[in-house]
Structure 1
Amino acid sequence: ENPIPGTIAIPGGATIGLVLLINLFAAKLTRFAIHAKGGRFAGGLIITLLGFILVAIVIIGAHLGDGLQGEPPFSYDTLWLGTKVTAHCLTLLSLGWLLLWTPKNRVLFTTAVVSLLICAFVSLFLVFSFDAYRIPDPGLRIVWQLTKSLGVGSVLLIGLMLLFGQRGGNVLIHLGVALLMVGQFIFGDAQTEERISLAEGQKTTAAIAIDEVELVVIDRSPDDANRVVAFSHPMLMESSKQGTTLSAEGLPFEIRIDRWMENSQIKKRNTKPASDSVEAKMQGSIQSWDLIEKPKVGGTGESTNVASLYFTALNKSDKSPIGSYASSQWLSDDQVSFNPIFETLEVASKTYDVGLMFRRNYKDYSVTLKNIVLEEYTNSMIPKDYSSYITIRDKEGNVLQDGRVWMNSPLRFRGETFYQSQYISKEDSPYGVEQTVLQVVTNAGWLIPYVSCVLVGMGMLVHFAGTFTRFAMRYERTSKVIQRDWRQWAIGCAVCIGLGLFAISIARPKTADRNEIDYNAIGSIPVHYGGRVKPLSSAAAEFLEVLSNKPYALLLADGEAAKKEYKPKTKKVSSSEWMFAAIMREPWIFDNPLIRVEATSTTDLNLTRVESNRYSYNDIVDGLRSIGPRMSRIIETQKAPPSRRETLSFEDKALWEILNKVAMVDSLIDAFEPPFTRKLLEGDPQSFQAEMTNASMKVDRIRASNNPAILPSLVQENPADGEIAKPKTRWDAFGPALFDVIRNRERNAQSDTVLKFFDIVQGYSEDKKNGAKINRLVAEFKTAAASAHGSDVMRNNKVDFEHHFESMHIFGNSQAFYVIVGLVTLLSYAVLPKSLRNIAFWLCVGAFLLQTYGIVARIYISDRPPVVSLYSASVFIGWAMVLFCIVAEIFYPIGVSLIVAAISGYLSLSVAYGLDVGDSMPVLRAVLDTQFWLATHVISVSLGYSATFFAGFFGIMILIATCITTLGGEKSKSEWVNSARDAIPVLYRICYAVVCFGIFFSFVGTVLGGLWGDDSWGRFWGWDPKENGALMIVLWNALLLHAKWDKMVGALGFAILAVFGNVVTAWSMFGTNQLGIGLHAYGAFEGSLLMYLVTFVAVQFAFIGLGLVLVLFKPHKVLQ
């Protein structure tokens, strides 16, 4: 709006998109020629035109009609049956390909076998799982949209194949991209987003446009209705810039905007404005509130602009000032303030209210909220689902639609889509009842991304299938069948036997001395923590991760004297042992290093610096007490409402976090302490009720803290009026459970289980060294709990499996194997190349299978797809890269793939281990709690990440091989130099193949992510940093392929570009999280991991620099 002199204008997104679209059409028109003639041409043209017509019908038809849109015309059970039948048909087609059209080519034959195995596994799984893993209805709704898109896309593909031959798939790719871009051009800016906020039982016809505000003037004098005049957002901005006045017929005054604040904050004044300030001459709320201008926020996050302004009211007749005022949405908008306060003007014997608020758009129908349901994970405050049950009526009151709106399942009605956006509890609601916030989106082209995704995906499959077939033919002609003698097979068998023995050794359960406490058995006790049932060892490790960033505790070897040392001798204590000691209130847990305190806070707390940054509970509590007044001020600040809360300094924020960690320990100790005194048991009946009342308050506080709980609650939840009693789901820690036993004074199997745990507490307090007795009591407690509550409730099988899985340290052992693989492979380049490389290959396969077992185990434990967090993403990406490397080594057994497998496997597991989220398999919040999108979008994007990283690592290998070749010279006879020279075209071929694989999954995964966003909050693309990062990967892979196809680069240039792909992928996966903005801002980290990210990027740039230096030495080779 205001150009800066001397700068270069940067084109906007629309301009860039238009240029790209023109380039896209120009490239296809000039490069792709129609080869069909005669009848084939006519048939291809007719079918292609029919395909275009069907695409238009599907897109337009999705926006027409009343009622629920996007729903299939038949039941979801029928659609699920069709999905299963399709899977079985694919299995039969794969079998037919293998038996009836048996490929003569080795590569194609192997591909047919692998395809049959995969399809057969899916079919058998669907048959024998008996719909236990049926896609939920919201997921099947997406399947229906993709099925329609697949149908019209198939027609279009057939026509293009007839017209363009083998290039038909390529044409379809670019048509799909063009459709996506055109759709965003036509419908993107026309899309509107509104919001409806309703309390239970409330009805409204107004939707709030949160990107526009209006200044309203309300005349409340008429008896029948208020008279409202609204001045629009553009009018307010023009008045503030031009100094013009705003007037309306019937208003005796005009308004001039003196100052406009697009975004603002308010702060309560402690004193009156300064006498020489502008505010001192103003009237109304400005005397009590200070309006502070804030930077305007964009649309990538959840925050919105809250406007404020200064205005002057002028007499309409003579323009004389009536007074100057200030208005802010923070005060006058009921969407922001619970108790709206308007500025009051008295003009011509009438009183007018003036205030800023979001724009109201009135509908020709009304929406009534019948009920809103918040479902939280048991024993947590983590939301699992929000559901709003609404009724839509016309002006006469006739019901047009009854529907449910919940996360990832919107309701489409008359071209508008209702999304579940927010839930407001009755405690936070000004109405004293639950409230819902629905987002209402109007987007006539909402189905375009679905169609585009399918078109591009189909086109890529066909195009790259042709590429793969040509590769298979060439490989058959040029490669030699590797004959392995008996010694190589013997080595392979020996390695496999050794790996099997190792797997058996780590799978054997650990046993303790019968006279010592068996902490392994204690660690397998089922507890409820973090929203799910898990082993006590896992809950304890998660608890310690929060306190110290490590899943174990430390014990000072030299006792109290070691506290003054910077690097004291310590020994690790398992999470199970620490948690058991905390439950038993062992003094050593308070005196040994426990809570992590950053260096900046040690001075404030009078702590002596130690290398581990972990300090004892007692020392920290003493430090907090020494700054009591400061901590009181911090606590008071944090009690204020979020909208009016002062921002803490960096140091105070650190102290607040430390205080919360101390409170966690206090709460844990209280949760397992008997909530009664001996007086309660031995006192007279008159004092019993008073003691129980006091204990009840403590128990309620403990239950609200959601500590690790050992047993399902003994108290049945009271159903609301008209509801059927639900089975009890809440779990209790020992203290509240024992309180219920005493209060109810009933003996049954469930109450006896609580007393069994009480026996453990008593047995430990009487003789903590009697391990045999304590182990027996623990076993009796576990048996009693399973008998009283049932194995399904206690999840004994999964808890035992999870505990055993954790004890195996699967990923740590895999990491060690990858190191061995790398060392053995490197050694093979010096001695015994065939034998050592064979050993390294089977070791790599063993490490891969071990990691595969770990991923499958996590799927079984969590009932989730393999990627649900940054931790699991790191594990999965490394796993996929190792799989690519194994396949590459089978095709080209030169050892380089094994080195890349070792590096990628080790680094990915190191990153996973370093992430703060750890291996706790947490439950997912409402918007992420969707199996369909986790199994499609997240896995597709992760495979795209894997392929791009893989190509980047192979690019580094190409650079190293080129460097060796360059240093050795063209005429060198060195075996190393010649091997490196011969390896370059092989590595180039592998790198190119994986980029083809990567762009398919990157594009499909990115678009599916946009569809998930559209399904969750009605926005396919919001230019969120995470979305932009994913798009950058797609564009960069496309750049690599086009640079190769157009012969702009050779092996060296391709390698340099591929290495930069590592930087792009690392930024997309981790860097965007560090920005802390956007709807995908999660998993931000700091400290060592941030340093590793910066180091990784620096190393990539170092290799890119090496490549550019090689370009200078070999400029004539780069473009070959």
Structure 2
Amino acid sequence: MANTGAASQLYDTMDRHHTEVEPEQGPLRFLLAVLRPLGSLKWTIILFAVSLVLVMAGTLSQESLNMEQVKQRYFTSWIAKLYIDDFIPQVFYKHEPFYFWLPFPGGALVGTLLLVNLLAAKITRFHARARGGRLAAGLAALAIGFALMLAVIITGGSSEGVQGEPPMSYPTLWKWVCGGLAAAWVGLLAVGVTADSPRRRNWSIAGVVVMGALLIGMLTGYMTLSDPGLRILWQLLKGTGVAMIMMLGCHLIFDKQGGNVLLHFGVALLMVGQFAYGDRQVEQKLQLAEGDVSNTLINTGKLELAFIDNSNPAETKVVGIPGSRLRAAHEWDSVISDPAVPFDVKVPAFYINSKLVDPNDLPADKPNLATTGQGLELAVEEARMQGGATGGINVASAYVELLSKDSGESLGTYLVTQFVNDGQSLFVTPAPDEFESVTVGDTTYEMGLRFQRIVKPYWVKLLDVRRNDYAGDTKAQSFSSVIRLVDPRNDENRKERIWMNNPLRYRGETFYQADHVPVPGGKERTGLQVVQNSGWLIPYLACSITGVGMLFHFLGSLNRYTSRHDRETHPKLFFPVAMSVAVAFVTLIVSMKLIPWSAVAMAMNPDRAKTTRDLYRAGEIPVQFGGRLMPLDAYARLTLKTLSSKESVPLTEAGQEMINRYAMEEVSPSAMEKYRDPGMREKRLPALQWLMEVSADSDEIYDLPMIRIDAAEVLAEVGIERRRKSKLYSLSELMPASARVREMATKANEKDSAQLSFKERKIIELASRLHLYDVVSISMQMPTPRQIPDELLRQMFASELAGREITDEFRQLASFEDLRRRMELIAEIPSPGLIPQQGQAELPRPERERWLPLSNAYFESIKDRLRDPEAVDPTAGFMTMVKAYQDNDPLAFNQAIDQHDELIRPRMAEDETGWKLTLERWMEATWPSGTAMILYLIVLVLALAHLLSGVGALRASAWAMLIGILVVHTFAIVARIVITERPPVINLYSSAVFIGWAAVLYGVVIEYLGRRGIGNLLAAAAGSMTLMIALRGLSGDDTMPVLEAVLDTQFWLGTHVITVTLGYSATFASGLLGIIYLVQSWAGAEQQTRKEVYRMMYGVTCFGILFSFIGTVLGGLWADDSWGRFWGWDPKENGALLIVIWNALMLHARWDKMVGPRGFAMLAIGGNIVTAWSWFGTNQLGFGLHSYGFTSGTMMWLGLFVASQIALIVLGAVLPTSKPPQTEGPGWENKRI
């Protein structure tokens, strides 16, 4: 039993880095005495707690405030006004706002104190361990690293030419990257071969395998980086090189504490960089139509009352009064007098946001303030200020009274408003801005309220702007602008292309692609954001320095642990027979569930094609929808799930003929009872067969309950009295009220979303479901002309039919024209495309036309055959398949599948004919994630049984099963990567799958190290819960969608998103271990067992802060690369920051011994709340860049989860620890297993 605690000693070693320094005698003694309290970890923890409150308040207040106001209230102020109402957003609870506030430390004050605390702590707690030559070498390395760091920062912000490009070509840089990775692989191989420690050898071999696979992918071209990715990698490589040199110096001087010193230096650098540059950066906009030339940028952060003197044709003079002065003059009823301004100015009214009204409509108690100018024809009223939740813009207006500087006499009160003076920049209108003309002496000035203009020494001409949408969808895949930049002073004349995530850096300014707007006349307009930030490289350096410091710190601890661990002896802890049985069981389940046996049987016995429909192959037919190709079965599931919230519908009320087609036989009256009253197992119509019924336009489809209605108010509105348990209703039941529902939804959509009632939201939901069915049915059915009533014809063709009779020929022509318009419309809106257009196969992907819906393609084929009787109908195969389904003819059905494939295959491009569709069809049919979830639940039972019984074979079996399930889980993730051609996390669904995978991996490794069953419990619980969340709560939409233009970057998806998600997973894993610790303490576990779980918690938290910090900073770098701001205080960014702060608070509280094991466990459970908020809560706010995925169900489950975690924390604080039993017996606490 000498090695009882060996498995968790890894986490002990991580705790030994805060060495107190005794004050030396001499002049430094007084300084150290002053700095010691300033560097107290208690101050650190308090400041972290205050930061949590500030970040949360700043996040929630974005519902009603714009970003600049949020920053001024909370983040850049020294003393903040903490409004209690900010913590109760209207999206969570509708209420009347109240304005009670408390003084609170602001972001500027907290940041300054944290920096002082950090510096004081490092000065008093760390000291040089090196002497002589070692110390000199360390200081030299630090000096070199520091000099290189300054050089990187200065050159990045210089005003000479283009910055950010590597000094070599991108292909050369990629070769160097591959060479560096190959050298690292060789080094790992050498370590593995020469290592005398089995543990170190095993870890080296694992690293060799992983790095070798990565290297093979890079060398074969499957895993590569585009030029924009390599540009970012170059910046990170520069930072990593600086960090490695500084790490060498820190290690030479501080020895084991070197990593800790370096990581805190990186944090300090990031803080100083944001203080020095973060809020001083200037954001400007440049809006150009194709062919336009400009040298004037718009500073949207500053408003001004501009006086423009155009008297000299060669030069325009502009004098501006800042908007802040206008507002202050209005609030204080003062006069603005400035020598540069030709008038004195009073401001009777100033509105941050306003709306235009007719002067005649003004109330009697609020007369028109304008006495001259355009204010006599227009008037404004104050409007509710726009914030994050509304997504609108503020349009400022003011009434200004001009006074003569000589006599003080009033020259009139004018209305100045951005509606008129700044319409081009705000609303992208082609009409020129209009200004008031005012004259002083011989000079006439144009006066207007507008954003500040900044004149540059260079000119920009827009040569071309492009927006590429995904085929068959309105979602933009990319925006790009081609510009010519001419700088006469520096003799520059360069043509550059700018697109999302690929800015142009020129002379200290960075040009980012912001938006694209089509304008009347066929031209297109681009919006470029131009940011001046000379410290843009500081976050890159800080990320690299902190990451290297953390890695060396934690890897050093890991190395010391493994060295000590290998010196100890271990009893045999594996049970080969039990593990073999477990592996065999997993293999059996996987074989049963993950092999599509229907397809195998059809392939092995061709005669089955005569008697059985090959629905597996039918489901593999390609469909273009949502901007991508997907199997027909996937489209059917997605559509039916949107209509009914399920992937199948019950047949209990289906018609006789539909049931016959489902069963492929004539169902007898006695057998029909199994369908009508099935008992526990009701018969359900799968999505693919439902789509066949829709395509056939069978009579029974209209009587099949399939449209979900949850709200009783909506049922009453549509006149349905019978409420079904399934909450599904048929088209025939809804048809009488369909027009009224759509009309109500149209009116509701005109309202502000925040003002919608529950009933209105549900009416909109029902109308959208009815519209979806219309789109599907029109797209998938044979197009048929409608008979238009004569009354409607006379309205539609009044002039043509004036004084004429309506003939049958005219009715036919009108019906055909109506059909033509419907077919054009269905081809323009998002609808399922089944037929590739002719002549597209050789074109590059962005230039291809979308696939046509079946009905549209059939209509076009009719026109083609009228022109050429020999023309082939590309819809013949699918139409035959639908008819064969309706006729219950399996042979004709299966032959039609082959016919459809032969007709469309020649029209498809090479990249559309791969095996991705086959793989996705397999995933839809076999459900590997669901299989993994069920197996995790089985392992969870085994893990609990082991902990209660102490039977070692159960622990070994559970661990072996976890390895097998992890393989299945991994394969599911790899399959998604192959299908989407993206990294593993691209939306909330995939994040849940990946978080579960990472947590399982943590658990498997912990169990391998500790072998006490705790890792099994952690892995099984995390895997089953996260997959349940993914499959039950996040699979309502397409789980493998195409991405918005700003997300279309492999580099950031593969770095920022992955590391942040690993941070989520580690924090959740720590929280689960915290729950286990509390349960152990209540159950009377032995102290040594609880101590091991405590150390596991601590170790996982260390990895949590590593991944969370690096991922969060990488997210800031992504934002900088997309919009020019490293930190924008977006809710999702703030959520990630909360996780970093919470993990830091936990670790510092432990190091300062402010909390013991139980307190640390309670904090870890609190980390579950913080992570859940960052993961789901921020998406539910309705504002910010990540305001997607809102559902009331998500909010309910999030609230229940938070309540459960709070309950556990309260119980942890209240319930006492039970004493261990006096005698040993079965159970996790009393046996070494």
**TM, length-normalised to structure 1:** 0.89
**Which of residues 1031, 1049, 1052 is equivalent to 2:1137?**
1031
1:1095 aligns with 2:1200: yes
The C-alpha deviation readout for 1:552-606, integer Å capped at 9, x for no partner, is 344443769x9x99x9997532221122222222233333333333414333333
Partners of 2:460 and 2:485 within 8 A in 1:
yes
Aligned match of 2:481: 388
Alignment of 1:550-949 (within 5 A): 550-557=646-653, 571-599=683-711, 600-608=713-721, 609-626=723-740, 630=744, 633-634=747-748, 637=750, 651-675=759-783, 695-714=819-838, 728-745=848-865, 751-761=872-882, 763=884, 768-786=887-905, 788-790=906-908, 792=910, 794-795=912-913, 797-831=915-949, 833-913=951-1031, 914-918=1033-1037, 920-949=1039-1068
1:124 is aligned to 2:124: no
Task: Tell me which amino acid in the other structure corresponds to 1:451.
Answer: L
Matched with 1:374 is 467
Instruction: Name 1:332's counterpart in structure 2.
Output: 421
> Which residue does the alignment assign to 2:398?
309
Using a 3 Å threshold, how does the CA distance of structure 1 residues 487 and 754 change in structure 2: closer, same or farther? Answer: closer
- Match runs of 1:1-80 below 5 Å: 8-80=102-174
Per-residue deviation, 1:53: 0.7
- 1:181 is matched with which residue? 271
- d(CA) in 2 for partners of 1:406, 1:749: 46
Distance 1:663 1:997, change over 3 A: same
| Aligned counterparts of 1:1091 and 1:660: Cα–Cα separation in 2 | 23
Shift of 1:696: 3.8
Displacement of 1:674 in angstroms is: 4.1
| Alignment partners' CA distance in 2, 1:1041 and 1:796 | 49
Distance in 2 (alpha carbons) for counterparts of 1:508 and 1:842 = 30
Higher relative contact order (CA 8 A, sep 6+): 2
What is the letter of the counterpart of residue 632 of structure 2?
L
Go from structure 1 to structure 2 and tell me whether the alpha carbon gap of 1:593 and 1:503 turns closer, same or farther (over 3 Å shift): closer
Question: Structure 2 vs 1, CA of residues 735 and 268 (structure 1 numbering), >3 Å: closer, same or farther?
Answer: farther
How many Å separate the matches in 2 of 1:874 and 1:369?
43
| 1:963 counterpart = 2:1077 | no
Q: How far, CA to CA, are the matches of 2:1212 and 2:938 in structure 1?
A: 29
Task: Return closer, same or farther for 1:46/1:487 CA change in 2, 3 Å cut-off.
Answer: closer
* Amino acid paired to 2:714: S
Superposition deviation, residue 880 in structure 1: 0.9
Structure 1 residues 980-1006: Cα deviation after superposition (integer angstroms, max 9, x where no partner): 444212212222221122211111111
Return the letter of the residue paired with 2:209.
L
Say which SS state the counterpart of residue 1190 (structure 2) adopts. coil
- 5 Å-filtered alignment, 1:962-981, equals 962-965=1081-1084, 977=1085, 980-981=1086-1087
Give yes or no for contact 2:1052–2:1118 (8 Å, CA) kept in 1: yes
Q: Residue 538 of structure 2 corresponds to which residue in structure 1? A: 448
Higher mean C-alpha deviation, range 328-337 or range 689-698: 689-698
Instruction: Return the offset for 1:409.
Output: 0.6
State whether residues 607 and 619 of structure 1, in contact with CA within 8 Å, keep that contact through their aligned partners in structure 2: yes
Q: Give the superposition deviation at 1:667.
A: 2.2
Measure, in 2, the Cα distance between the counterparts of 1:592 and 1:725: 40
Higher mean Cα deviation, 83-92 or 135-144? 83-92
Does residue 1046 (structure 1) correspond to residue 1165 (structure 2)? The answer is no
Judge which range, 743-752 or 72-81, deviates more.
Answer: 743-752
Report the counterpart of residue 970 of structure 1 in structure 2.
Answer: none
Is 1:524 the counterpart of 2:623 in the alignment? no
Identity %: 35
Question: What residue number does 1:114 align with?
Answer: 206
C-alpha root-mean-square deviation of aligned residues, in Å?
Answer: 3.6
Q: Which moved more, 1:274-283 or 1:54-63?
A: 274-283
Q: 1:194 aligns with which of 274, 281, 284?
A: 284
Instruction: Extract unaligned runs of 5+ from structure 1.
Output: 966-976, 1115-1120
On the 8 A contact 1:520/1:576 being kept in 2, the answer is no
1:573 counterpart SS class: strand
How far residue 66 of structure 1 moved from its aligned partner, in angstroms, is 2.8
* CA deviation string 1:309-357 (max 9, x = no partner): 2333445565454544433323331212424664746768998654321
Question: Conserved in 1, the CA contact under 8 Å of 2:380 and 2:397?
Answer: no
Distance in 2 (alpha carbons) for counterparts of 1:549 and 1:1032? 34
CA shift, 1:630, in A, is: 4.6
- Aligned-pair distance for 1:280? 7.7
Shift in alpha-carbon separation, 1:81–1:1099, aligned structure 2, 3 A? same
CA distance in 2, matches of 1:438, 1:276: 44
1:506-542 CA-to-partner distances (Å, cap 9, x unmatched) read: 6663768744544333211111011111101111222
**Residue 364 (str. 1) matches residue 457 (str. 2):** yes
> How far apart are residue 143 of structure 1 and its match?
0.8
Closer, same or farther in 2 for the Cα pair 1:291/1:1018, shift >3 Å?
same
**CA separation of 1:922 and 1:629: change in aligned 2, threshold 3 A:** closer
Deviation at 1:37, TM superposition (A): 1.0
Whether the aligned pair in 2 keeps the contact of 1:257 and 1:311 (CA below 8 Å) is yes
SS of the equivalent of 2:104 reads coil
CA distance in 2, matches of 1:477, 1:1024: 50
Distance 1:164 1:757, change over 3 A: same
Contact 2:598 2:616 in 1 (8 A): no
Query: Match of 1:537?
Result: 633
Alignment partners' CA distance in 2, 1:374 and 1:604: 43
Q: SS state of the match for residue 1155, structure 2?
A: coil
Q: CA deviation at 1:1034?
A: 1.4
**How many Å apart are 1:20 and its aligned residue?**
0.4
Which of 459-468 and 836-845 deviates more?
Answer: 836-845
Indicate how the Cα distance of structure 1 residues 730 and 89 shifts in structure 2: closer, same or farther if over 3 A, else same: same
Report the CA distance shift for 1:1090/1:479 in structure 2 as closer, same or farther (over 3 A): farther
Does structure 2 retain, via aligned residues, the 8 Å contact 1:1010–1:1020? yes
- Secondary structure (helix, strand or coil) at the match of 1:10 reads strand
Instruction: Tell me if the contact between 2:645 and 2:1036 (Cα under 8 Å) persists in the aligned partners.
Output: no
1:89 partner letter? A
> Aligned partners of 1:460, 1:258: CA distance in 2, in Å?
58
Counterpart secondary structure, 1:780: helix
Q: Offset at 1:794? A: 4.1
Change (3 A) 1:291 1:748: farther
The reply to whether residue 276 of structure 1 matches residue 276 of structure 2 is: no
Deviation (angstroms), 1:949: 0.6
Local SS of the residue matching 2:297: strand
TM-score by length of 2: 0.81
Q: Any unmatched runs of 5+ in structure 2? A: 1-72, 74-79, 83-98, 603-607, 657-672, 788-806, 1220-1233
1071, 1075, 1083: which one aligns with 2:1181: 1075
1:748 Cα deviation from its structure 2 partner: 11
* Offset of residue 196 of structure 1: 0.7
